[in-house]
Structure 1
Amino acid sequence: MVKNVDSRFHLSFNVNKDRVQLRDFLGAREISKRTLTAVKYNGGLLLVNGIERDVRHFLYKEDRVDVYFPPEETSAGLKAEEGNLSVVFEDDFLLILDKPARQSTIPSFNHRSGTIANFVAGKFLNEQIPSTVHIVTRLDHNTSGLVCIAKNRHIHHLLGKQVSNSTFKRSYTAIVEGHFFPDQMLINEAIGRKDGSIIERVVRGDGQEARTEVNVIERFVKNRQKLTKVALKLHTGRTHQIRVHMKWAGHPILGDDLYGGSRRLISRQALHCETLQFNHPISNEPLTFKAALPLDIKRILSHTR
């Protein structure tokens, strides 16, 4: 689907219908009017059978359409840096990374450099990929696991639609305090910002809809502390959603001192994004990615009383 004739991101399509306008053909493939405007004015290109055409051109069976998207510039304020990235998967469209704990996904006031976004910008610069960094899924600074990044704003748009309609699935493993009951629970409690705080969230009636599925894997005792290993599935993606819902349920995540978790056994929240499942934005092939639990969580699970 992608031809590296030049460095611009490029998609090719074969036409299987007579007399369809190019604008409508591309719209049916989720290429928006806004994107087509950017293609026209910002350095992109539309070709039909190798000849430049505008969106009013009519297509016929066996025509070939090539779309060259405008080059993207790194976002203002995002410094490209060299650093280690744990790459789980990569192709012309996607980058799946295994983020360690204590690394931010994007720069913030407290973490201006050394983030996943800084290192990905450096990777794109070194590899001459004309794109800014499009974070599809992000993790909190002290949460480990899988992060999905798109290599073009159009791919970001396609994956964002999957996130919105819940065909993009994220599964987490956590250790929570206490023995969680019942074995299965769907927490459907709205989440909003805590009054007076710019960071902390709480369950509140006027918040945004938030749904988290909880499944108990194992109840155990470590150093005389009752703990439960749980598998969690996000059905929405609110800030701190799992952490807030676990606190609301009376079982804060171990190590999550912002939401009442003890740091006696681990110095960060014991939360790991273990699995991502979605359809490839171009081929529609079902994809599943997994990231093994990090050592600090494994040590707790190798429990002895």
Structure 2
Amino acid sequence: MTRRIQYKIEEQHNGKCISMFLKEKEYSRAVIIELKKTKTGIQKNGTWAGVNEILNTGDILEICLTEQRSSENIVPKELQLDILYEDEDILVVNKPYDTPIHPSVNNYNNTLANGVVHYYQQQNKPYIFRCINRLDRDTTGVTILTKNLISASILSKRMKERGLSRTYVAFVEGITKEEGTIDLPIGREEGTIIKRKIDEKEGKHAVTHYCKLEELQVEGKAVSVVALQLETGRTHQIRVHMASIGHPLLGDFLYNESNHMLTRQALHAVSCAFYHPITGEYKRITAPLPKDMAMLMQRSSNESCDLVAKL
């Protein structure tokens, strides 16, 4: 894919060199090096320019990044994508459950990556798969992918610096407090590469905030619908944290083996909010509740509740 970006230099940037200007736009050193490799990578007023050249008010700085290869070892395979938003820089999809993000052993061609690579192959566009917020295989919802190195670099940096606000909805056992914060370290459980646990000695710092949206009665059992936001992004963080306070997720075979109300953990990435990496426009993208969780709502006394509207 080729991405061209134009900037008209304003008074506030007069006298700055191109390198400084691009760094203020959050271009990483690696991206600037990549742009310098071609004659069209960085141009000022239609002419090739070095990164040490000075910008003046009214100049037109054009950035051109061309990526001609696609992700290696990702087999294109048709997948019905639920696209929530797409432009020249990002693709946001509503990931279904039972769908891993990346190919791995025993998951060679049934992943979101396979479907997205196929989507762009059908448009005759090379595509390198870059996922910003990774979800567990059975967690559904908003998943942000980037379409070029520039947007990938900027959003990845913001993700690490908590510049992307992510909200999840979960159905958990019992009636929770109205709101709370769980600040407990998480580590790997001995003898397994998958399961995690609260580990006060060797675990990594993890913080989850939650608030109760609804109380349900499902099959005679009390269920709370909670919205959650993460300060950190540890593996299985929501699942481990909610189980640790006595409110495990419904259908979570790892941390709540006895609950079979759903066939997977009742966890959905309902929204993500961020400033666009290129335009700076504020974006808040939401994904409707998946069918299995929506059907569970219908089996309760609150079937008409619009959870997304409550967030």
**Do the two structures share a fold, i.e. TM-score over 0.5?**
yes
Displacement of 1:18 in angstroms is 3.4
Instruction: Name the CA distance, whole Å, in 2 between partners of 1:79 and 1:44.
Output: 31
Residue 258 of structure 1 is matched in structure 2 by 254
Give the letter for the 2:7 counterpart. Answer: F
Displacement of 1:76 in angstroms is 2.4
Instruction: Name the CA distance, whole Å, in 1 between partners of 2:174 and 2:214.
Output: 11
Instruction: Name the CA distance, whole Å, in 1 between partners of 2:225 and 2:181.
Output: 16
Deviations 1:193-244 (A, max 9, x none): 2222111111212222211111112223322322211111122211111111
Q: Secondary structure in 1 aligned to 2:36? A: helix
Displacement of 1:74 in angstroms is 2.4
Residue identity (%)? 31
Deviations 1:248-280 (A, max 9, x none): 111111000111243422111111111111111
Residue 184 of structure 1 is matched in structure 2 by 179
Instruction: Name the CA distance, whole Å, in 1 between partners of 2:216 and 2:126.
Output: 50
**Closer, same or farther in 2 for the Cα pair 1:43/1:118, shift >3 Å?**
farther
Q: Secondary structure in 2 aligned to 1:9? A: strand
| TM-score, normalised relative to structure 1 | 0.91
Residue 80 of structure 1 is matched in structure 2 by 76
Instruction: Name the CA distance, whole Å, in 2 between partners of 1:109 and 1:139.
Output: 18
Residue 305 of structure 2 is matched in structure 1 by none
**More deviation in 34-43 or 58-67?**
34-43
Displacement of 1:157 in angstroms is 1.8
Instruction: Name the CA distance, whole Å, in 1 between partners of 2:278 and 2:144.
Output: 15
Structure 2 unaligned segments of length 5 or more: list them: 302-311
Instruction: Name the CA distance, whole Å, in 2 between partners of 1:23 and 1:66.
Output: 13
Give the letter for the 1:194 counterpart. Answer: E
Instruction: Name the CA distance, whole Å, in 2 between partners of 1:72 and 1:43.
Output: 16
Give the letter for the 2:71 counterpart. Answer: S
Instruction: Name the CA distance, whole Å, in 1 between partners of 2:129 and 2:167.
Output: 23
Deviations 1:122-162 (A, max 9, x none): 12222243430110112111111111111112211211233
Give the letter for the 1:196 counterpart. Answer: G
Give the letter for the 1:76 counterpart. Answer: E
**More deviation in 37-46 or 128-137?**
37-46
**Closer, same or farther in 2 for the Cα pair 1:107/1:44, shift >3 Å?**
farther
**Closer, same or farther in 2 for the Cα pair 1:304/1:97, shift >3 Å?**
closer
Number of residue equivalences:
298
Q: Alignment partner for residue 10 of structure 1, among 4, 25, 32?
A: 4
Instruction: Name the CA distance, whole Å, in 2 between partners of 1:258 and 1:264.
Output: 12
Instruction: Name the CA distance, whole Å, in 2 between partners of 1:289 and 1:156.
Output: 18
Deviations 1:16-61 (A, max 9, x none): 2433222222222222222122222378621111111222222222
* 1:137 aligns to 2:159 (yes or no): no
Displacement of 1:88 in angstroms is 0.7
Residue 267 of structure 1 is matched in structure 2 by 263
Instruction: Name the CA distance, whole Å, in 1 between partners of 2:44 and 2:112.
Output: 38
Give the letter for the 1:12 counterpart. Answer: Q
Deviations 1:69-98 (A, max 9, x none): 241522322222222100011111111111
**Closer, same or farther in 2 for the Cα pair 1:304/1:46, shift >3 Å?**
closer
Give the letter for the 2:285 counterpart. Answer: F
**Closer, same or farther in 2 for the Cα pair 1:64/1:183, shift >3 Å?**
same
* 1:280 aligns to 2:288 (yes or no): no
Deviations 1:99-119 (A, max 9, x none): 111111211223111211111
Contact kept, 8 Å, 1:12 with 1:64, in 2: the verdict is yes
Give the letter for the 2:6 counterpart. Answer: S
Residue 235 of structure 1 is matched in structure 2 by 231
**Closer, same or farther in 2 for the Cα pair 1:131/1:264, shift >3 Å?**
closer
* 1:47 aligns to 2:37 (yes or no): no
Instruction: Name the CA distance, whole Å, in 2 between partners of 1:129 and 1:208.
Output: 40
Instruction: Name the CA distance, whole Å, in 1 between partners of 2:165 and 2:58.
Output: 36
Give the letter for the 1:35 counterpart. Answer: V
Give the letter for the 1:13 counterpart. Answer: Y
Residue 20 of structure 2 is matched in structure 1 by 24
Q: Secondary structure in 1 aligned to 2:32? A: helix
Contact kept, 8 Å, 1:43 with 1:71, in 2: the verdict is no
Residue 248 of structure 1 is matched in structure 2 by 244
Structure 1 unaligned segments of length 5 or more: list them: 1-6
Give the letter for the 2:96 counterpart. Answer: P
Residue 116 of structure 1 is matched in structure 2 by 112
Give matches, 1:194-233, under 5 Å: 194-205=189-200, 206-233=202-229
Q: Secondary structure in 1 aligned to 2:143? A: strand
Contact kept, 8 Å, 1:8 with 1:130, in 2: the verdict is no
